[in-house]
Amino acid sequence: MKKICLMLAAAALVTGCAGPNPYRAPVEDRGQDYEPAKEPVTQPGTVVPAETSPGVTVQPVTRVPVVREQRDPEAASQPVEIQSSQPVVSQPQSPAVIALLETARTDSGKGDLRMAQSRLERALRIAPRDPEVYIQLADVQRRQGQFLQAEQVALKGVSVAAGQSGALKRLWQLIAEIRQEGGNAQGAKEARDKAAAY
Amino acid sequence: MSKKRTPSAKGRRSRQKSKPSRLGRFLRWLFKLGLVLTVIAAAGLVYLDAQVRSKFEGKRWAVPAKVYARPLELYPGQSIAMDELKQELKTLNYRFVRRADQPGAVEWASSRARIYSRGFDFPDEVEPSRNMLLSFSGGRLQSIKSSDGRSLPLVRLEPMLIGGIYPKSNEDRDLIKLEEAPPHLAQALVTVEDRAFYDHWGVSPKGIARAMWVNIREGRFVQGGSTLTQQLIKNFYLTSDRTLSRKLLELPMAMLLELHYDKDEILEAYLNEVYLGQSGSRSIHGFGLASQYYFARPVQELELHQVALLAGMVKGPSWYDPRRNPDRAMERRNLVLKMLFEQGHISRDEYDQARRQTLGVVKQRSLHKGAFPAYLDLVKRKLREEYRDEDLSSEGLRVFTSLDPLVQTRAEAALETGIGRLEKRYGKRAKELEASMVVTDPQTGEVMALIGGRDNRYTGFNRALDALRPIGSLVKPAVYLAALEQGYTLATPLEDEPLSVKMPDGSVWQPQNFDRRSHGVIPLHRSLALSYNQSTARLGMNVGLDNVIDMLHRLGAERDLKAYPSLLLGAQALSPLELASVYQTIAANGFRMPLRVIRRVTDAEGEELSRYPFTLKQQVKPELVHLLQYALQEVAREGTARSVYSVLPDNLNVGGKTGTSNDQRDSWFAGFAGDRLAVVWLGRDDNSQLPFTGSGGALRVWTEFMRRESPEPFLATRPAGVEYVWIDEATGLRSDRRCEGSRQLPFLTGTAPSEKVDCGLDNPVRRSLDWFRNWFD
């Protein structure tokens, strides 16, 4: 019981320390990628939060260190599975996907882009986590002049390819190409930089 | 002037000549009359001819659009149980036999199956009919070998026909070509109905005479003298009332038809036109549809005795209805067989064997099973955005959808089981429950199954699309995602304390937690996992209603959302389909995909009319969605949905959210595994209170569905730009795996708190002790 009291007190103190507004999150400026948090805006004419919390909010003057017992690190169980920081080993491609990708390549080589697209969508249903499918599909859409879609498909490819540097490099190169052809020179440069990082 | 006189003189002369003969005058009159009549008749013939030709050459039949389910793809390595394949083959009406030696047949063994597929003319390419051997082990398809021993990487079965879009006349057809007709069909028809078919000119005096003779001999009407051509004309061009004028028109038209078209063309039209039965309000025309209706197989696969039955039924489809009058039908069938034998079309053996067969008629059911009314409803709505009703019901369009009948069946079964358990548990308080469900593939955005109500066969109120119900806590992920986007982290402490918000109308909004308690300071991820209302409301007010609404729209909500604070706790009503779209975006790492039900539409010849390709748009940064996915997985591990792992395998890593509306009128769960996303709603049409919450009701159905579905585990690949940091659970401070009370949480790189708890790791003495201890471990 004493421990719990201590913990609660510590928790209250620490949150109190966060600043005048305990609900505001600490924000780190991450450059242009992320917008810094805005001040909470009150909707004009709609609602005004009115605190009725009867509890006394403690504003400590000094920080109190939070103390914890040590434990055996092996005992630290993770309730939610943590995605390892190791590169995800890509699944070996099934013969079905290989066959579809190959015929799609032949189709697009012959200029039959619609046919290639149908095959790649079939492949996508079978192997939606295979970056290669996204690379080819985005490339077919690029050749059809659908630059916006092509870029989005390639970006989805980036999101499934997390940890696979080879695929990521090719995806960003492709995105650079798509943006370049679509007239977005600045975006193309950014993509090339990302590709170079892999 | 002189010219004028000449004819009158001539006339006078002729009048003088003919004056003596009255007969001559009559003959002359008759001749004139004849001439006029001939001209009229000729004009009539020309008119009839135009009629005959325009109908025969133009579009002959209004063919309803056909709607297909997804074709089942089969490939080595595929995770598919043999039972699932069996179910698919059964719904495709494959026959399970000892030797699969013709299309539509299967040999079934314990770990292998030989399938003689039918093949299908897909819009992208023709899938040939194949005789192939499939081997299974461990719930997977190991290999597919063709009959010559080659390994096949990928094959498609034909898609199941799930429905049609019918015109008001309710006529339905399944057009066949003459060369597709089974061997004895044409022979049987000709033998029974019109032996002189290949010799006559459309009408057969011999046939009429013979019919008369037979009728006189029998003393009653047993045989009509109509040729096949006449019968076709009758059905094709003329009304069915038996008037003399109709009979008179029939003869010249039949001859005209014969004049223009060859026998095969006429016979093919006949095969598709002839009336062969009635299924409810829908009339069965043509052998293609009749074959499905009576034998549940394509006409190509009919056997001799079945062909004989159908050919015999032409004479009187209801009199010889094999379901209502089996004895009569049997007698008629055997008569046809006998005639075929006597005419030398079949051998003695064939005759004897066919005669011994039972009728082989399948149990009556509505055509196309009518099993997916909710899904078809959605398909029709989508089609109507692009096509006119008359085109849909007459042009013979082919519509390829993404409905997965296996998934649909499992969803229906899960719903039934789930509700059954609830009724057992809550007794009367759970009566008159209604339900709806949407299942999608989060990777592709395709809708795989849809349930619009508990009665799956009833085409009524489609709750999955049209029931607008307050979504309760299903809204919370949008609130938290908006917060994460503004710089909150999963570890940000939130205050779960009472709050009051003054509304514009002067009232005060005071949200309560479900347990009517406040929980003090808790980290953000915990607040979502345990679905606390007060902390969420406070968070939402700080984030701003506009931002939350904007997030909901970006994720997939389409309607206007009112900026009331109660929105933060789900007072807003959405349809299950709309919610599926919102959760789909979350499951797909922030990429929004329009939910697709139709893959492609082609015309009757297979020419593509529209396609609905895979499209997507990134709406939220994948890194932020990764954080939310973590919290939604926590909901299932430790939060309001933790009951799922008492049923589902531990490695499934599902994410989702429970929802209960005010006063417990709606029970929701929306959640996803790797390749399945499902939204379940339970409630009542009269909006009365339920005896259970989202976790107690909808979640149970959802869990049962996922158990049956055994989907792929959800893999939240960690995007670059996200790091996992050990955090002290109670305070949200940075911690270490060696400190008590710590867990790993994902953060955007660099946003984890820097302030640390102290568990002595920085103390050199203890650190060295630690090192020392590790030495001996």
Residue B622 C-alpha, separation from nearest chain A C-alpha, in angstroms: 7
The larger pLDDT score, comparing residue B318 to residue A28, is at B318
Residue B486 C-alpha, separation from nearest chain A C-alpha, in angstroms: 4
- For A40-53, how does the pLDDT look when each residue is reduced to its tens digit (9 = 90+)? 444 444 444 444 44
Lowest mean pLDDT among B13-17, B50-54, B593-597: B13-17
Which residue of chain B comes nearest to A15, CA vs CA? B493
CATH number at residue A144: 1.25.40.10
Lowest mean pLDDT among A47-51, B385-389, B599-603, B697-701: A47-51
Task: Say yes or no to pLDDT of A192 above 80.
Answer: yes
Tokens of A136: 């080819």
Residue A122 lies in a domain: yes
Of B500, B637, B717, the CB nearest to A163: B717
Of B487, B497, B744, the CB nearest to A25: B487
Map B316-328 to HEC letters.
CCCCCCCCCCHHH
Helix (H) or strand (E) holding B742: strand B742-748
Residue A152 C-alpha, separation from nearest chain B C-alpha, in angstroms: 6
CATH 3.30.70.890 fits B164-356, yes or no: no
Task: Say yes or no to pLDDT of A26 above 80.
Answer: no
Residue B209: pLDDT band by 50, 70, 90 thresholds?
Answer: confident
Q: Are A47 and B503 in contact (CB under 8 A)?
A: yes
The larger pLDDT score, comparing residue B82 to residue B173, is at B82
Residues contacting residue A177 through CB under 8 Å, at least 6 positions apart: A142, A188
Residue B370 is predicted with a pLDDT of 60
Length of chain B: 777
Q: Are B530 and B636 in contact (CB under 8 A)?
A: no
Residue range of the domain that includes A111: 95-196
Residue B613 C-alpha, separation from nearest chain A C-alpha, in angstroms: 8
Of A41, A68, A73, the CB nearest to B741: A68
Residue A97 is predicted with a pLDDT of 95
Residue B168: pLDDT band by 50, 70, 90 thresholds?
Answer: low
Share of chain A above pLDDT 90, in %: 51
Pick from B510, B739, B768 the residue to mutate for testing the A interface (most A CBs within 10 Å): B739
Pick from B79, B440, B494, B495 the residue to mutate for testing the A interface (most A CBs within 10 Å): B495
A57 CB near a chain B CB, below 8 Å? Answer: no
Of B498, B744, B766, the CB nearest to A52: B498
Residue A57 lies in a domain: no
CB contact (8 A) between residue B73 and residue A122: yes
Edge to edge, the sheet with strand B65-68 lists: B161-165, B65-68, B398-401, B598-602, B608-611
Residue A158 lies in a domain: yes
Residue A41 lies in a domain: no
Q: What are the residue ranges spanned by the domains of chain B? A: 71-158, 164-356, 371-471+572-610+642-716, 473-571, 722-776
Residue B155 C-alpha, separation from nearest chain A C-alpha, in angstroms: 9
B743 CB near a chain A CB, below 8 Å? Answer: yes
Task: Give the E-state strand segments of B122-197 in sequence order.
Answer: 126-127, 131-137, 140-146, 155-156, 161-165, 171-172
Which residue of chain A comes nearest to B754, CA vs CA? A26
Residue B334: pLDDT band by 50, 70, 90 thresholds?
Answer: very high
Task: Say yes or no to pLDDT of B530 above 60.
Answer: yes
Residues of chain B with C-beta less than 8 angstroms from the C-beta of A160: 589, 717
Q: Is B659 helix (H, G, I), strand (E, B) or coil?
A: strand
Q: Are B215 and B222 in contact (CB under 8 A)?
A: yes
Cα–Cα distance, B458 to A43 (Å, whole number): 46
Task: Say yes or no to pLDDT of B592 above 70.
Answer: yes
Cα–Cα distance, A130 to A164 (Å, whole number): 11
Residues of chain A with C-beta less than 8 angstroms from the C-beta of B510: 52
Residue B241: pLDDT band by 50, 70, 90 thresholds?
Answer: low
The one-letter code for the residue type at B251 is L
| Cα dist from B758 to A73, B211, B736, whole Å | 15, 108, 9
The residues of B carrying an active-site annotation are 193, 473
A149 CB near a chain B CB, below 8 Å? Answer: yes
What torsion do the CA atoms of B452, B456, B457, B462 make, to the nearest 10 degrees? -10
Paired strand residues for B746: B724
The one-letter code for the residue type at A192 is R
Task: Say yes or no to pLDDT of B416 above 70.
Answer: yes
Residues contacting residue B98 through CB under 8 Å, at least 6 positions apart: B107
Residue B623: pLDDT band by 50, 70, 90 thresholds?
Answer: very high
Residue A23: pLDDT band by 50, 70, 90 thresholds?
Answer: very low
Task: Say yes or no to pLDDT of A19 above 60.
Answer: no
A23 CB near a chain B CB, below 8 Å? Answer: yes
Cα–Cα distance, B777 to B760 (Å, whole number): 19
Phi, psi at residue B263, to the nearest 5°? Answer: -60, -40
Cα–Cα distance, B451 to B438 (Å, whole number): 6
Task: Say yes or no to pLDDT of B41 above 70.
Answer: yes
Residues of chain B with C-beta less than 8 angstroms from the C-beta of A82: 724, 744
What top-level class would CATH report for the domain B71-158? alpha beta
Cα–Cα distance, A19 to B516 (Å, whole number): 29
Cα–Cα distance, A121 to B519 (Å, whole number): 48
DSSP states of B224-293: ----HHHHHHHHHHS-SS--HHHHHHHHHHHHHHHHHS-HHHHHHHHHHH-EEEEETTEEEEHHHHHHHH
Rg over CA atoms, chain B: 37
Cα–Cα distance, B445 to B439 (Å, whole number): 10
Which residue of chain A comes nearest to B497, CA vs CA? A53
CB contact (8 A) between residue B735 and residue A68: yes
Task: Say yes or no to pLDDT of B206 above 80.
Answer: no
Paired strand residues for B165: B65
Residue A110 lies in a domain: yes
Task: Say yes or no to pLDDT of B389 above 90.
Answer: no
Residues of chain B with C-beta less than 8 angstroms from the C-beta of A162: 717-720
Residue B670 C-alpha, separation from nearest chain A C-alpha, in angstroms: 18
Of A24, A40, A76, the CB nearest to B742: A76
Residue A84 lies in a domain: no
Helix (H) or strand (E) holding B58: none
Residues contacting residue B248 through CB under 8 Å, at least 6 positions apart: none
CB contact (8 A) between residue A25 and residue B633: no
Task: Say yes or no to pLDDT of A6 above 60.
Answer: no
Phi, psi at residue A173, to the nearest 5°? Answer: -60, -40
DSSP states of B508-528: EE----TTS---EEEEHHHHH
CB contact (8 A) between residue B76 and residue A37: no
| Cα dist from B115 to B64, B108, B129, B133, B145, whole Å | 30, 8, 10, 6, 10
Report how many domains make up chain A.
1
> What one-character DSSP code corresponds to residue B734?
B
- The distance between the two most distant Cα atoms of chain A, rounded to a whole number of Å, is 76
Of A25, A65, A100, the CB nearest to B489: A25
Task: Say yes or no to pLDDT of B602 above 70.
Answer: yes
Cα–Cα distance, B681 to B684 (Å, whole number): 10
Residues of chain A with C-beta less than 8 angstroms from the C-beta of B444: 121, 124-125, 128
CB contact (8 A) between residue B730 and residue A11: yes
Tokens of B211: 């019919």
Residues contacting residue B259 through CB under 8 Å, at least 6 positions apart: B202
Q: Report, as an integer, the average pLDDT of A186-196.
A: 96
Among B residues 587-616, those touching chain A with beta carbons less than 8 Å apart: 588-591, 599, 608, 611, 613-616
Task: Say yes or no to pLDDT of B133 above 60.
Answer: yes
Architecture, CATH, for domain B371-471+572-610+642-716: 3-Layer(aba) Sandwich (3.40)
B97 CB near a chain A CB, below 8 Å? Answer: no
Residue B763: pLDDT band by 50, 70, 90 thresholds?
Answer: low
The one-letter code for the residue type at B101 is D
Residues contacting residue A183 through CB under 8 Å, at least 6 positions apart: none
CB contact (8 A) between residue A43 and residue B743: no
Residue B95 CB burial class (10 angstroms; 0-12, 13-18, ≥19): middle
Cα–Cα distance, B635 to B668 (Å, whole number): 14
B539 CB near a chain A CB, below 8 Å? Answer: yes
Cα–Cα distance, B557 to B553 (Å, whole number): 5
For all residues of chain B together, what is the average pLDDT?
88
| Residue whose C-alpha is closest to residue A164's, from A89, A66, A111, A72 | A89
Q: What is the ipTM for the molecules in this complex?
A: 0.81
Residue A30 lies in a domain: no
Q: Report, as an integer, the average pLDDT of B41-51.
A: 83
Residue B242 is predicted with a pLDDT of 58
Task: Say yes or no to pLDDT of A30 above 50.
Answer: no
What top-level class would CATH report for the domain B473-571? alpha beta
Where would I find the H helices in B449-544? 463-466, 476-485, 524-529, 533-543
Do B371-471+572-610+642-716 and B473-571 fold alike per CATH?
yes
Residues of chain B with C-beta less than 8 angstroms from the C-beta of A78: 743-744
Residues contacting residue A180 through CB under 8 Å, at least 6 positions apart: A188
| Cα dist from B404 to B88, B161, B440, B635, whole Å | 10, 12, 10, 28
| Residue whose C-alpha is closest to residue B233's, from B6, B51, B449 | B51
- For B549-566, how does the pLDDT look when each residue is reduced to its tens digit (9 = 90+)? 999 999 999 999 999 999
B7 CB near a chain A CB, below 8 Å? Answer: no
Which residue of chain B comes nearest to A38, CA vs CA? B486
Of B497, B614, B743, the CB nearest to A121: B614
Residue A101 lies in a domain: yes
Residues contacting residue A184 through CB under 8 Å, at least 6 positions apart: none
Place of tokens 């085409």: B459
Inter-chain CB pairs, A–B, below 8 Å: 258
CB contact (8 A) between residue A69 and residue B724: no
Cα–Cα distance, A131 to A163 (Å, whole number): 11
Say how many Å lie between the first and final Cα of chain A, rounded: 52
CB contact (8 A) between residue A22 and residue B495: yes
Share of chain A above pLDDT 70, in %: 60
A133: Cα within 13 Å, side-chain hemisphere: 28
A45 CB near a chain B CB, below 8 Å? Answer: yes
The larger pLDDT score, comparing residue B441 to residue B138, is at B441
Lowest mean pLDDT among A9-13, A175-179, B82-86, B364-368: A9-13
Phi, psi at residue B424, to the nearest 5°? Answer: -65, -40
CB contact (8 A) between residue B501 and residue A34: no
Task: Say yes or no to pLDDT of A22 above 80.
Answer: no
B740 CB near a chain A CB, below 8 Å? Answer: yes
Q: Are A22 and A13 in contact (CB under 8 A)?
A: no
Residue A198 C-alpha, separation from nearest chain B C-alpha, in angstroms: 11
